[in-house]
Amino acid sequence: MIALLVRDLRIATRAGGGFGLGLAFFLILVVLVPLGVGPEADRLAPIAPGILWVGALLACLLSLDRIFALDYEDGSLDILATAPVPLEAVVALKALAHWITTGLPLTLAAPVLGVLMHLPREGYAWLVLSLAVGTPALSMIGAFGAALTVGLRRGGLLLSLLVLPLYVPTLIYGTEVVRRGAEGLATATPLLLLGGITAGAAGLLPFAAAAALRVNLR
Amino acid sequence: MASSMWEYANPTRFMQVSGRLLPWVAGAALVVTAAGLIWGFFFTPDDFRQGATVKIVFVHVPAAMMAINAWVMMLVASLIWIVRRHHVSALAAKAAAPVGVTMTAIALISGGIWGQPMWGTWWAWDPRLTAFLILFLFYLGYMALWAALDDPDTAADLTGVLCLVGSVFALMSRYAVNFWSQGLHQGASLSVQPGERMDIVFRMPLYVSMTGFGLIFVALVLIGVRTEIRARRMRALVMRERMA
């Protein structure tokens, strides 16, 4: 199982693996927003939590179709499906690998981009914390969407249409943590709800994603 | 009489029964909806504050109710397909989605038309409006997945799983948006608590209109399933011709 995780991480970080693409996209998005709405700090600061979360979410979406597509095309997914490791665990591991290569770098890069967005000083810790708690859910939900669309040749656009509505609760609670944190309010409620989504997604969605994969491998 | 409800899961039996039922259901849908709307539009008094605009309620509320009910019906039909593998069930879920998405659109549009004079805006990020817009997106994704997959059984399986997972997330979104914004909508208008609900003059035609919208939904789903069964039979015939 650890070998599988290491293998996925290696594939993602080697040339052509798309590693860093999500980060670059996140940066571009955060650069484009002030160009669109204007550079004033008092205009950017209130929308900073939302823009940073939406940016992280879209950057995460970008690499979702890679979770299963390559393994599906070269047939290694068939081998993984018949391996002694349950397919549910394979799905969870692949989601974890996706999180380590996209969600984790996004979380670490977010404070730097927060400076660009004039995020209030109190917000940084909450931004990092909320992304650390919330992005695993994004990867897990995305893995489920990727499992649904893996058999389709042009599944990319459909994948975003399927996955983005599922991201709604995560986004709402995630931004709420940062917004309340930046304004110095209590953040426990949205943070706990965000953690609940991540825990629920990690616990239940591997089963749904594995079921979808089995249908696609039939 | 059928000995068990599962007998109708046989497509031939379903076609027989639904063929006999359909004219009655469709006719009843027409009559009841017309009765509810005419009663509501012409034979109820104007509201003392909202004037005649209050009468949009007779379209808005039934459409919104059916938008949610159609999704619940899809959920039940998907579960039956996943557990018992009756094709009619999967087709019923498929047929319900376009009706559900139309009802959602009607609810959103009629709500905008109502909101303009009452709240002074076509659109507000009110929790219920937002939840309905999100429901609309869920419907679109569900229908797009059906359309994207060629093999009918694969499509039924995958959309079934999506419907189950989507239901959980749709429900979570519903409560998440409550958390995110304070609303303009009133509380429950059809509550069983006397005093909080609308007056009986408005409630009676509303109930009739709701029944009518429900019947329209049933009639359209029956038509959709029957069309799909015929299309599959035709496809099977074409395949057999090609093999011969």
Domain ranges, ordered by start, for chain A: 46-217
Average pLDDT over residues B220-234: 92
Q: Percentages helix, strand, coil for chain B, rounded to the nearest 5?
A: 80, 0, 20
Judging contacts by C-beta atoms under 8 Å, the chain A residues touching residue B97 are none
C-beta atoms of B172 and A169 within 8 A = yes
User: Is B175 domain-assigned?
Assistant: yes
Chain A positions in Cβ-Cβ contact with residue B141 (cut-off 8 Å): 158, 161-162, 165
Q: How many domains does chain B contain in total?
A: 1
Q: What is the pLDDT of residue A16?
A: 59
In this predicted structure, what is the pLDDT of residue B138? Answer: 94
- Flag whether pLDDT at B189 surpasses 70: no
Whether A161 sits inside 8 A of B161 (CB atoms) is no
Residue B193 lies in a domain: no
Is residue A192 less than 8 Å (CB to CB) from chain B? Answer: no
Instruction: Give contacts of A218 with chain B, Cβ < 8 Å.
Output: 154
Q: How many residues does chain A have?
A: 218
CATH number of the domain within which B43 lies: 1.20.120
Q: Are B228 and B92 in contact (CB under 8 A)?
A: no
Provide the residue range defining the domain that includes B156. Answer: 14-184+200-243
Question: Which 3-state string (H, E, C) describes chain A?
Answer: CHHHHHHHHHHHHCCCCCCCHHHHHHHHHHHHHHHHHCCCHHHHHHHHHHHHHHHHHHHHHHCCCHHHHHHHHCCHHHHHHHCCCCHHHHHHHHHHHHHHHHHHHHHHHHHHHHHHCCCCCCHHHHHHHHHHHHHHHHHHHHHHHHHHHCCCCCCHHHHHHHHHHHCHHHHHHHHHHHHHHHCCCCCHHHHHHHHHHHHHHHHHHHHHHHHHHHHHHC
Quote the pTM value.
Answer: 0.88
Please state the ipTM of this predicted complex.
0.87
B161 contact residues in A (CB cutoff 8 A): 148, 208, 211-212, 215
Q: How far is B151 from chain A (nearest CA, A)?
A: 10
Do the domain assignments include residue B163? yes
Indicate whether B189 belongs to any domain: no
Q: Report B:153-182 residues touching A (Cβ under 8 A).
A: 154, 157-158, 161-162, 164-166, 169-170, 172-173, 176-177, 179-180
Does residue B1 surpass a pLDDT of 50?
A: no
Each residue's pLDDT expressed in tens, for chain A with a length of 218 residues: 777 788 877 777 776 556 678 888 889 999 999 899 888 888 888 888 889 999 999 998 888 888 888 888 888 888 888 888 888 999 999 999 899 888 898 999 999 998 888 888 888 999 999 999 999 999 999 999 999 998 887 778 899 999 999 999 999 999 989 988 888 888 888 899 999 999 999 999 999 999 999 998 88
Choice among B36-40, B41-45, B72-76, B154-158 with the minimum mean pLDDT = B41-45
Q: What is the mean pLDDT of chain B?
A: 85
User: Is B5 part of any domain?
Assistant: no
